[in-house]
Structure 1
Amino acid sequence: MLNRPFEFAWKPLRAIWHKALGANDKTAEAPSPSAQVSATPHRKPTIEYRADIDGLRAIAVLLVLIFHGGLTLFPSGYIGVDIFFVISGYLTTSIIMKSLDNGTFSFSGFYTRRIWRLQPAIIALLIATLIITTLLYLPDDYVDFLKSGKYTSLLLSNQYFSNATTGYATPDAATLPLLHTWSLAIEWQWYLVLPLGIWLLNRYVAKKAFKVTVLGLTVAAMALALYWSHTLADKNYYLFSARIFELMIGSCAVIFSTDKFRLNRLSASLVCALSLATILYCATREDILAGFPGYHAIAVCIATAALLFRGIGDASITSRILAFKPLVFIGTLSYSLYLWHWPILAFVAYVGITLTPMVTVIYFVATFVIAWLSFVLIENKFRKPRAGFAKTLILLMLVPAIGLSLLHTAGKKHDGWPERFGEDSSQVFSGLKAYVPAQREKCLGVSDGTDLGCIMGAAQADPQVFLLGDSFSNHYWGFVETLAKDANLSALAQGYPACLALPKVYLYDEKKYKGGLYQKCHTAAQQYYDLISKSRFEYVIVGQFWEAYLNADIVTKQDDPRSTELSQQRLGVAIREALDIIVKSGATPIFLMNTMPMPAGINECLLKRVKLRGWMGSTEQSSLCATSPWSGGEDPVLAKLFSELQDEYPSLIVIDPKGVQCQDGTCATVIDGFPVYRDIGHVTDYASYKLGQMYLKRFSNPLKATR
């Protein structure tokens, strides 16, 4: 009785499946129901449907949905995407090999079917997210969305999100509605490589060398992925070159299959049980994201290939388990489930709704309902090609790409159309933008001191003030420029994100950099202090998010012993080394403290009324968000260190903007109706300039201290 609803739903789906096979419209992308073809080189393959592969898809998509839903059951549920990639490699290779053996393969036919199978649902996703972001997203965020839409339509969103985010599953990625399309971009990049690769190998490589060549290429791709895992651990997650081995493992599962090989039921069941256990083990790990995909991804992919391999996966008892009708039903919806689940979470996060248990339940229900509608109204309706290759390419690929590219260009030109939110809000957005220095962001990530655009303050031939540090020094551009103009000085600004701008030390991150030294920070710091030594600055201002480095892993060489206490000792030594260089150069050292760290959800609270046009939130609620409690105390380790430094270096000046941001136990999160924070931790340029003006009114200008 329990299976009847699924039986009712599955029968028409199965009919559609067999109709699709008869029409030669086979599907092969990772997260979607697909025709099943098995082939090896130079023999006639057979076509058979395996329900267990749909069940495997269900496991993959459920891992992803549960992980993104914030549940702790599978801390590494993102490995579901790796399972999809292996399935995709298996299916696309099967289809192409069968067509080559039958003499029916054509590039135009393959791409026409792929485009009609994938693009209608993606176009629907782009239209739906465009409508909702037009209603909700603030101007800068809206322009960013349009840019992501452009790169999604150009099949390059993996590259875009690699540069636009600090990493996978990071806070700055939580509100990007198209973030998940990075995997679809890799799918398409695979489709561009695979057909030509197999065609060339099939045509020019001897029969006996075919399998060895494919295996060699797969091993080489695997080695490259492991290399990127260690050398580009903060970027490799989105790279096609780091993912192609996963799809190639799926190809190997096809190419190495043979009618002569078949394990008995017990042996096959043991292999597949071990494979499922491997997938479950990796999904429950909490510490494998750094440098992913790496060894754990290889284990997941090999396990998935074993479950797909003819003579193993289809011979085991696990094939019956995976063919459980509810799992198969979910597997048939997997492409739509994957497409629509993430935008729901992104929009929920953007309007500041917390994922309570009730909201999480709504997320799962909404995902399945929307996925079912998408499957019925879009996937099935447009499954069969309705035009030839040229018209298909123009209609479903070029038109969306050109349209979104033009829309992004127009969005940039019109600053994201702030008038969407009404006149009052438009004035706030315009005011915030008016205070953004044109060169500020361009001076972040540089350290050679040669860019004249990085000089601000009073008009002078040479800068007398040097501002350096991490991104927190960069967000103080307006603050420092205000002080510099008042003192009739010019200032050079240089900064490097997430870098400790101190000499003779390295940052070491076991997770982010796979146990390596962050050489870029070390090199930038060396250039800063070389510049200080050979220049004649009057003031050197070091701006850092100091608290962030108290628990950092700071070393002087790769094999240094590591502990929090040792890192803090090395921090103190490095700061004194920096002060010695600054003082010896004849400059006055100035340390810039941080503003109050951004309270969680503060901008969502402040801007909820704007985003939702007053549907949720109110003026009263926004006023409650205008300040945040503050204990008034600094970290005791940092306070002790800075107190010692001021005793040891009498010329050291410490500037703390909290002196004007905070009073009577609260800190302002709004100045003159403008938000203080622009993102997680950094202040807006409006707030930076205003805090500088407030500092001058309340305190004397520290840049006049020695003049």
Structure 2
Amino acid sequence: MRNMKYRPDIDGLRAIAVLSVMLFHAGISAFAGGFIGVDIFFVISGYLITTILISEIEGEKFSIIKFYERRIRRIIPALIFMMTISVVVFSYILIPDDLENFGQSIVATTFFSNNILLWMTAGYFDPSIDLKPLVHTWSLGVEEQFYLFSPILLIIAYKFWNKIGINRVLIFITVTSYIYCIYASTRFLDANFYLIFSRIWEIGAGSIIATQGVKAAAAKVDDKLAAALSNSGLLIILLSNYFYGFSEFNPNVFTLICILGICAVISLNRQGSLAYTILSNRTFVVIGAMSYSLYLWHQPIYVFTRVVSLEEPALAMFGIGIIATFVMGYISWRFVEVPFRDRDRIGPARLYVFSASFSAILIAIGLAMHFTSGFYSRWPELAKNDKDFGKGMNIAFNEAPYKYLDVQFDPDGPGKKVLVIGNSFARDFINMMDKTHRLDTNQVAYSDAKPCEIGNSEPYLTKISATADIIVMATKLNSENIPCIHQLREKLVTRDHTRFVVIGTKNFGWNNNAIMMLDPEVRYTYQTKVVPEYLESNELGLKSFEKSEYVDVLALISQREGYVPVFTEDRKFISQDREHLTPAGAKFVGERIFQGPILSAIRPSQKN
């Protein structure tokens, strides 16, 4: 059917890929660039799929139905198995906000579009990647989106231009995607990482070396030179696991080095070379055979390890997680992958019924998690004291201030004119005004412009800031955006009586799920440790701004240094996702920040 000679070294390369990703997600510093494992998978996929497609198209044996049937056999049963077990486990241990997000990921993953969901939510309600069971399925989305158009594109190219046409089309797509990737790597970071437009060049690189012309050229390379190039390629791949950890954006111009190394191994690796000997080692080959199932299972198991921990787990815990990954990976490979890939054991009809029915069930469960805001009714002890604990308590509450986006101040309106600039933290500030009755007697205008990317918002900001009494900037502070905030202040504060205020970063710990597993008497008075990166962000804010303009939120809500409460005094969640405020949390934090001299001019309504 495939007319392909089995290559154990490619399975070995798969093993390198999956081990890199597993060790990267475990947080091992030597594998800080281990995300390159996904890039390896992309190149391998491009090579294998294109080899099969070209062989079948040229032999006039291609069937698009059989092509997609093979893809379904390869991908969906093992994915459904992992997702089904994950649903059973995480439905019981995740709090509503995390469960709502998980439900959205279930639906997106089932439609192979989790990469799009992650891109759309990145930077806003993107709970820690470490607590997302299905975050790794973004790469499946990229691959499946490639599979949607690649067969048709290659058939058209072959029909009109024969073998040369296929090669030219692949080169054009690959080069165009790479150029876009370079452009997007410093401008559209999330889109560049998650979306197919800047990833297809990696798959395309594998596709190009699968064409007959490139294969023929590679076959003419002297054995010694081929060995040197394939050995160098493997060395580049291994070193990338460490050095790519220093790369700020990925993929980028330097990713090409690793991709070329992967292509060298695939196209030039031959028996007798060191690379072939290493990659054909039986251990690597076995791991490579199970690599898909291992990839599927490592993230849910790691997330489980983190979810049940009050603080970031010790490295030894991930050792247990790696063992568990191999156990579940073997079970998935042996009892799901292998049977479903055998057409004689499981025919097309059974395959389609199984895939369609379980996919429908998973989609229904995911939608239920979304529309019930994470099965909030499972927590009656929380809901009975909090009228806001229910639908819309999470993302919808934070997005409510969008109604103030780009509005104009009423010259004759009441109170202070407050211009709020920033991301979801800025919307938290507006919600704090609302829950402390300061929206009743003051005016608010909102801009979601980023400090370093004002762009089209500049005319609006320039105009409205001229009449603003207080300009509030609220975003997560870092060394990159603080200089931009200073520049923005100089640009917008044009009147002596206009005040510029920066709201400090806030955080409510590592993981609320584990806190909900504590005894109720301990749970509601528990003080959680602020995540170090937020403490560092706050220290940076304290050093970068004057005391008269910087609101140290962490200091105002902390009862002891470095620790913050999870619940209000009347047992209401302050934040579920550990960054953004619930209605009760907006009141809790708002009452504290508006008492200080910096924001005291924004007075509340007398009717509280």
TM-score of the aligned structures, taking structure 2 as reference length: 0.85
Partner of residue 36, structure 2: 79
Query: 525, 537, 542: which one pairs with 2:472?
Result: 542
Paired residues of 1:94 and 1:254 also in contact (CA < 8 A): yes
2:173 aligned with 1:217, yes or no?
yes
Residue 591 of structure 1 aligns to which amino acid in structure 2? Answer: V
Paired residues of 2:525 and 2:567 also in contact (CA < 8 A): no
After TM superposition, the structure 1 = structure 2 runs for residues 380-529 of structure 1, keeping only pairs within 5 Å, are 380-385=338-343, 392-393=351-352, 395-396=354-355, 398-421=356-379, 423-427=380-384, 431-433=388-390, 440-443=398-401, 447-449=405-407, 465-470=417-422, 471-482=424-435, 484-485=437-438, 489-496=441-448, 499-500=450-451, 507=452, 518=453, 521=454, 523-524=456-457, 526-529=459-462
Partner of residue 178, structure 1: 134
- In the alignment, the residues of structure 2 paired with residue 329 and residue 224 of structure 1 have an alpha-carbon distance, to the nearest angstrom, of 37
Query: 300, 312, 324: which one pairs with 1:343?
Result: 300
CA deviation after TM superposition for structure 1 residue 302, in Å: 1.8
Q: Deviations along 1:300-321, whole A, 9 cap, x unmatched?
A: 2221122111x54456342122
Paired residues of 2:157 and 2:165 also in contact (CA < 8 A): no
After TM superposition, the structure 1 = structure 2 runs for residues 4-43 of structure 1, keeping only pairs within 5 Å, are 24=1, 37=3
For residues 548 and 696 of structure 1, do their structure 2 counterparts lie closer, same or farther at Cα, with a shift above 3 Å needed? closer
Q: Name the SS for the 1:449 alignment partner.
A: coil
Residue 702 of structure 1 aligns to which amino acid in structure 2? Answer: A
State the superposition RMSD in angstroms: 3.9
2:50 aligned with 1:93, yes or no?
yes
Q: Which moved more, 1:406-415 or 1:228-237?
A: 406-415
For residues 241 and 582 of structure 1, do their structure 2 counterparts lie closer, same or farther at Cα, with a shift above 3 Å needed? farther
Q: Deviations along 1:209-268, whole A, 9 cap, x unmatched?
A: 543443333323322322322432332111111111111111111212129934343222
- In the alignment, the residues of structure 1 paired with residue 480 and residue 274 of structure 2 have an alpha-carbon distance, to the nearest angstrom, of 49
Residue 123 of structure 2 aligns to which amino acid in structure 1? Answer: T
CA deviation after TM superposition for structure 1 residue 95, in Å: 1.3
Partner of residue 608, structure 1: 514
- In the alignment, the residues of structure 2 paired with residue 377 and residue 526 of structure 1 have an alpha-carbon distance, to the nearest angstrom, of 61
Partner of residue 625, structure 1: 526
For residues 372 and 445 of structure 1, do their structure 2 counterparts lie closer, same or farther at Cα, with a shift above 3 Å needed? farther
Q: Name the SS for the 1:257 alignment partner.
A: helix
Paired residues of 1:64 and 1:81 also in contact (CA < 8 A): yes
Partner of residue 552, structure 1: 480
- In the alignment, the residues of structure 2 paired with residue 444 and residue 109 of structure 1 have an alpha-carbon distance, to the nearest angstrom, of 48
- In the alignment, the residues of structure 1 paired with residue 256 and residue 13 of structure 2 have an alpha-carbon distance, to the nearest angstrom, of 17
For residues 365 and 387 of structure 1, do their structure 2 counterparts lie closer, same or farther at Cα, with a shift above 3 Å needed? closer
After TM superposition, the structure 1 = structure 2 runs for residues 48-197 of structure 1, keeping only pairs within 5 Å, are 48-166=5-123, 172-197=128-153
Paired residues of 1:233 and 1:291 also in contact (CA < 8 A): yes
Q: Deviations along 1:258-307, whole A, 9 cap, x unmatched?
A: 29934343222111111112112222115554331122322222211221
Q: Name the SS for the 1:492 alignment partner.
A: strand
Paired residues of 2:372 and 2:391 also in contact (CA < 8 A): no
Partner of residue 598, structure 1: 507
Structure 2: segments with no counterpart, 5+ residues: none
- In the alignment, the residues of structure 2 paired with residue 93 and residue 62 of structure 1 have an alpha-carbon distance, to the nearest angstrom, of 25
- In the alignment, the residues of structure 2 paired with residue 129 and residue 461 of structure 1 have an alpha-carbon distance, to the nearest angstrom, of 53
- In the alignment, the residues of structure 2 paired with residue 636 and residue 175 of structure 1 have an alpha-carbon distance, to the nearest angstrom, of 26
Query: 202, 225, 233: which one pairs with 2:158?
Result: 202
Query: 659, 670, 684: which one pairs with 2:567?
Result: 670
Residue 598 of structure 1 aligns to which amino acid in structure 2? Answer: N
CA deviation after TM superposition for structure 1 residue 573, in Å: 6.8
- In the alignment, the residues of structure 2 paired with residue 694 and residue 435 of structure 1 have an alpha-carbon distance, to the nearest angstrom, of 25
For residues 304 and 475 of structure 1, do their structure 2 counterparts lie closer, same or farther at Cα, with a shift above 3 Å needed? same
CA deviation after TM superposition for structure 1 residue 463, in Å: 8.0
CA deviation after TM superposition for structure 1 residue 524, in Å: 3.2
2:209 aligned with 1:253, yes or no?
yes
CA deviation after TM superposition for structure 1 residue 334, in Å: 0.5
- In the alignment, the residues of structure 2 paired with residue 448 and residue 265 of structure 1 have an alpha-carbon distance, to the nearest angstrom, of 66
Paired residues of 2:397 and 2:582 also in contact (CA < 8 A): no
For residues 694 and 264 of structure 1, do their structure 2 counterparts lie closer, same or farther at Cα, with a shift above 3 Å needed? closer
- In the alignment, the residues of structure 2 paired with residue 268 and residue 161 of structure 1 have an alpha-carbon distance, to the nearest angstrom, of 40
CA deviation after TM superposition for structure 1 residue 156, in Å: 1.0
Residue 206 of structure 2 aligns to which amino acid in structure 1? Answer: G
Q: Name the SS for the 2:190 alignment partner.
A: coil
2:559 aligned with 1:685, yes or no?
no
- In the alignment, the residues of structure 2 paired with residue 582 and residue 406 of structure 1 have an alpha-carbon distance, to the nearest angstrom, of 57
Identity among equivalent positions (%) equals 24
CA deviation after TM superposition for structure 1 residue 98, in Å: 1.9
CA deviation after TM superposition for structure 1 residue 349, in Å: 2.1
- In the alignment, the residues of structure 1 paired with residue 283 and residue 403 of structure 2 have an alpha-carbon distance, to the nearest angstrom, of 51
For residues 98 and 674 of structure 1, do their structure 2 counterparts lie closer, same or farther at Cα, with a shift above 3 Å needed? same
For residues 75 and 581 of structure 1, do their structure 2 counterparts lie closer, same or farther at Cα, with a shift above 3 Å needed? same
Q: Name the SS for the 1:231 alignment partner.
A: coil
- In the alignment, the residues of structure 2 paired with residue 291 and residue 658 of structure 1 have an alpha-carbon distance, to the nearest angstrom, of 30
- In the alignment, the residues of structure 2 paired with residue 636 and residue 61 of structure 1 have an alpha-carbon distance, to the nearest angstrom, of 37
- In the alignment, the residues of structure 2 paired with residue 233 and residue 328 of structure 1 have an alpha-carbon distance, to the nearest angstrom, of 35
Select the structure with the greater relative contact order (CA < 8 A; seq sep ≥ 6).
2
Q: Name the SS for the 1:598 alignment partner.
A: coil
**Bigger radius of gyration:** 1
Q: How many residues align?
A: 591
For residues 463 and 216 of structure 1, do their structure 2 counterparts lie closer, same or farther at Cα, with a shift above 3 Å needed? same
Paired residues of 2:20 and 2:34 also in contact (CA < 8 A): yes
- In the alignment, the residues of structure 1 paired with residue 201 and residue 580 of structure 2 have an alpha-carbon distance, to the nearest angstrom, of 39
- In the alignment, the residues of structure 2 paired with residue 286 and residue 526 of structure 1 have an alpha-carbon distance, to the nearest angstrom, of 39
- In the alignment, the residues of structure 2 paired with residue 364 and residue 67 of structure 1 have an alpha-carbon distance, to the nearest angstrom, of 12
Residue 608 of structure 1 aligns to which amino acid in structure 2? Answer: A
Q: Deviations along 1:586-627, whole A, 9 cap, x unmatched?
A: xx63736447x42542x53xx5253x4xxxx33454256247
Q: Name the SS for the 2:99 alignment partner.
A: helix
- In the alignment, the residues of structure 2 paired with residue 213 and residue 526 of structure 1 have an alpha-carbon distance, to the nearest angstrom, of 43
- In the alignment, the residues of structure 2 paired with residue 366 and residue 262 of structure 1 have an alpha-carbon distance, to the nearest angstrom, of 45
Paired residues of 1:165 and 1:172 also in contact (CA < 8 A): no
Residue 233 of structure 1 aligns to which amino acid in structure 2? Answer: L
Paired residues of 1:265 and 1:317 also in contact (CA < 8 A): no
For residues 210 and 658 of structure 1, do their structure 2 counterparts lie closer, same or farther at Cα, with a shift above 3 Å needed? closer
TM-score of the aligned structures, taking structure 1 as reference length: 0.74
Query: 543, 559, 581: which one pairs with 2:495?
Result: 581
CA deviation after TM superposition for structure 1 residue 115, in Å: 0.7
